[in-house]
Chain A
Amino acid sequence: MTAPLLEVRDLSKAFGNVVTANNLNLSLTAGVLTSIIGPNGAGKSTLINILTGFIPPDSGRIIFQSQDITYEPIYRRVRLGLCRSFQVVNVFTGLTLFENISIPILAAHRRANGLFSTVSGEKAVREEAHRILQRIGLQEQGDLPASALSHGDQRVLEVGIALAARPKLLFLDEPTAGMNPVERIKILENIRQLSQEGEVTFVIVEHDMDIVFSLSERVIVLHRGDVIGDGPPEQIKADPHVREVYLGEEVVA
């Protein structure tokens, strides 16, 4: 068996009395589309925040591709290939879509330090930005500022920026929240396709159980900082303990 893409060892985090990660042990395998579910306050977002470096853990280790990244700064994790999107719209509002997408690409190409070169002269970056805009279906709006987009399209752009950083492991925090059905299908199709191509491993936090069970190959259930279920979707659906604390009537119905 190959080494896991990401390994979490004995990870703990508490905010005062609220335990959001309780000696968590997890390992994520490359190429397996994983969903993290759990009731509100289960620690899903906190877990992503810790893994991507947004908040430090109280204890424990995070190993990404055999490298200890527990105390690495955010930008270095991104450069190693660990990236995320956000639950709320978190784009560069005043910049054009093309610029929005170009920024992580410039970083990935190590071309972001040029003082006297021009952005328009970076041919490889431009081509890649256009490819990603096309992929997420926003190529027509490339020269518009992000603020001119609808909320749903801004969410699509949000995922696009995360993809542009060339991640190996990408956490998507409720990627389809606030999207209309058309945008939702577009993004889910993208995720499915990219996952099959095998370059990006997705980990998705989602509330919509239809999406979770139709898309993922593995489901992890969190509850008060503990993993209470972990396995393929069918197994999770059938797990009595998981049904008791979380799924309950939603699946039965």
Chain B
Amino acid sequence: MNRSWTYILAALGIAVLIGIGLFSSRFILYLTMRVMILSIFAMGYNILFGRTGLLSFGHAAFYATGAYGVALCTIHVHSHPVLAVVAGVIAAAVMALIIGFFCVRHTEIYFAMLTLAFGMMVFSLMWNVRGITGGDDGLSGIIRAPISLGLISIPIMKDSQYYFFVLMFFVVSVLLIHRIGRSPFGLVLASIRENHVRTEFAGLPVKRYRLAAFVISGAFAGLAGGLAVFLESNVTPFAAHWSRSADPVLVSLMGGLQTFSGPLVGSVLFVVLRELIERFTHNWMLWFGLILLAIIMGFRGGIVGSTAALLKRSSEQG
């Protein structure tokens, strides 16, 4: 797409998001925050999945580590929300470094199964270490203290205030991930996806790059988990459940794996569709599964990927 168009679209998107923050009802605010949080999760995840070509089934572990990191920091250390989020992201990155160290030695199905196994271990750890994580009750009553910046302090207690906190992290994440996509590092990750043997013979330590991609995607998962804790004001071990690990996979597939904005569009669809379907039926998974089937079979390359291909074809003809 044309470069100036990208800027216009991005500016438009931010304007709409600010507009929602200023004028919307609490319900829309809540949904939009859910979309932004899921987007951070999925876009970070797509650095690993779409870019590097590694399918992880264990990213809920990092999402939950970030969530518990934020909760524990707020309860035990300091209630400053920014400090808590930073602590959560670091905790998630460290967890990703440890788990990734073992996983990146393998590829494809072995890699996927290892991440799944580690993810399950983290889940049951959080379930069982009652003294720290609160067991199956989780941790609740996590307050959103004001952000104190020396003299002034910004309250984020109300949803309409917290919204802008989430929006800020969302915009920063999107910019960072966009930048990574155009960087030499991002190109190396794509080359690993295309041909990891040749990448090694280009003089690059493939495992180290895989690990770096793993840690970066884990850190974004942690950020998403941390922001979600403040939104819901509680966290339970189900944040680490393997079904949560499926979220970014589905979102990426729906939106388009090989596209930058795919996970973003996928997140909107995921949250909105689920919300709509749940109004009519409890079996939302059945209907969601059918829609997913239609998208994956009907739109090759996801919604964004197939639309881009369609636009390209029509512009070539016309």
B203-A79 in contact (CB<8A): yes
Q: In the complex, what's the smallest C-beta–C-beta distance from B124 to chain A, in angstroms?
A: 34
Mark each residue of chain A from 107 to 143: 1 if its CB lies under 8 Å from any CB of chain B, else 0.
Answer: 1100111111111101001000000000000000000
B202-A119 in contact (CB<8A): no
A106-B187 in contact (CB<8A): yes
- The answer to the question of A13 belonging to the interface, with a C-beta cut-off of 8 Å to chain B, is no
A116 and B186 alpha carbons, distance in the complex (Å): 9
- The answer to the question of A94 belonging to the interface, with a C-beta cut-off of 8 Å to chain B, is yes
- The answer to the question of A90 belonging to the interface, with a C-beta cut-off of 8 Å to chain B, is yes
Say yes or no: A103-B187 contact (C-beta < 8 A), given A92-B194, A115-B179, A119-B182.
yes
Q: In the complex, what's the smallest C-beta–C-beta distance from B294 to chain A, in angstroms?
A: 26
A222 and B31 alpha carbons, distance in the complex (Å): 70
Say yes or no: A91-B198 contact (C-beta < 8 A), given A75-B206, A103-B204.
yes
Which residue of chain A lies nearest to B185 when distances are taken between CB atoms in the complex? Answer: A115
Which residue of chain B lies nearest to A111 when distances are taken between CB atoms in the complex? Answer: B184
Mark each residue of chain A from 39 to 67: 1 if its CB lies under 8 Å from any CB of chain B, else 0.
Answer: 00000000000001000000000000000
Q: In the complex, what's the smallest C-beta–C-beta distance from A119 to chain B, in angstroms?
A: 5
B203-A99 in contact (CB<8A): no
Which residue of chain A lies nearest to B209 when distances are taken between CB atoms in the complex? Answer: A112
**Beta-carbon contacts under 8 Å, B167-211 to A:** 176, 179-180, 182-188, 190-191, 193-195, 197-206
Partner of B184, one of A74, A93, A119: A119
**Beta-carbon contacts under 8 Å, B132-153 to A:** none
A75-B198 in contact (CB<8A): no
Which residue of chain A lies nearest to B258 when distances are taken between CB atoms in the complex? Answer: A94
Partner of B202, one of A73, A78, A113, A115: A78
On chain A, the residues within 8 Å of B204 by CB distance are 75, 103, 107, 112
- The answer to the question of A104 belonging to the interface, with a C-beta cut-off of 8 Å to chain B, is yes
B184-A106 in contact (CB<8A): yes
On chain A, the residues within 8 Å of B199 by CB distance are 92, 103
Q: In the complex, what's the smallest C-beta–C-beta distance from A93 to chain B, in angstroms?
A: 6
Partner of A120, one of B176, B182, B198: B182
Say yes or no: A116-B179 contact (C-beta < 8 A), given A83-B201, A90-B195.
yes
Mark each residue of chain A from 78 to 96: 1 if its CB lies under 8 Å from any CB of chain B, else 0.
Answer: 1100011010001111110
A116-B180 in contact (CB<8A): yes
Q: In the complex, what's the smallest C-beta–C-beta distance from B1 to chain A, in angstroms?
A: 15
On chain B, the residues within 8 Å of A36 by CB distance are none
Which residue of chain A lies nearest to B195 when distances are taken between CB atoms in the complex? Answer: A92
A114-B201 in contact (CB<8A): no
Which residue of chain B lies nearest to A114 when distances are taken between CB atoms in the complex? Answer: B184
Which residue of chain B lies nearest to A118 when distances are taken between CB atoms in the complex? Answer: B182
B203-A75 in contact (CB<8A): yes
On chain B, the residues within 8 Å of A21 by CB distance are none
User: In the complex, how many residues of chain B place their beta carbon closer than 8 angstroms to a beta carbon of chain A?
Assistant: 25
- The answer to the question of A165 belonging to the interface, with a C-beta cut-off of 8 Å to chain B, is yes
B201-A106 in contact (CB<8A): no
Which residue of chain B lies nearest to A84 when distances are taken between CB atoms in the complex? Answer: B201
Q: In the complex, what's the smallest C-beta–C-beta distance from B258 to chain A, in angstroms?
A: 8
Say yes or no: A119-B183 contact (C-beta < 8 A), given A103-B188, A161-B202, A165-B202.
yes
Partner of B191, one of A52, A79, A84, A95: A95
On chain A, the residues within 8 Å of B176 by CB distance are 116
On chain B, the residues within 8 Å of A122 by CB distance are 184
Q: In the complex, what's the smallest C-beta–C-beta distance from A7 to chain B, in angstroms?
A: 22
Q: In the complex, what's the smallest C-beta–C-beta distance from A226 to chain B, in angstroms?
A: 28
On chain B, the residues within 8 Å of A115 by CB distance are 179-180, 183, 185
A41 and B304 alpha carbons, distance in the complex (Å): 49
A112-B195 in contact (CB<8A): no
Which residue of chain B lies nearest to A108 when distances are taken between CB atoms in the complex? Answer: B203
- The answer to the question of A102 belonging to the interface, with a C-beta cut-off of 8 Å to chain B, is yes
Which residue of chain B lies nearest to A145 when distances are taken between CB atoms in the complex? Answer: B194
A92 and B204 alpha carbons, distance in the complex (Å): 14
A113 and B194 alpha carbons, distance in the complex (Å): 18
A104-B184 in contact (CB<8A): no
B182-A95 in contact (CB<8A): no
On chain B, the residues within 8 Å of A161 by CB distance are 198, 202
A119-B187 in contact (CB<8A): yes
A162 and B200 alpha carbons, distance in the complex (Å): 12
Partner of B183, one of A73, A117, A162, A164: A117
Partner of B203, one of A86, A117, A125, A165: A165
Partner of A52, one of B185, B195, B201: B201
A116 and B184 alpha carbons, distance in the complex (Å): 8
A91 and B202 alpha carbons, distance in the complex (Å): 11
Interface pairs A-B: 7 shortest CB-CB: A78-B203, A107-B203, A104-B202, A92-B194, A114-B184, A74-B200, A118-B182
B interface, CB within 8 angstroms of A: 176, 179-180, 182-188, 190-191, 193-195, 197-206
8 contacts between A and B (CB under 8 A): A92-B191, A99-B190, A103-B202, A104-B202, A106-B187, A112-B185, A115-B185, A162-B201
Known: A78-B203, A91-B198, A118-B182. 4 other contacts (CB 8 A): A103-B188, A112-B185, A119-B182, A161-B198
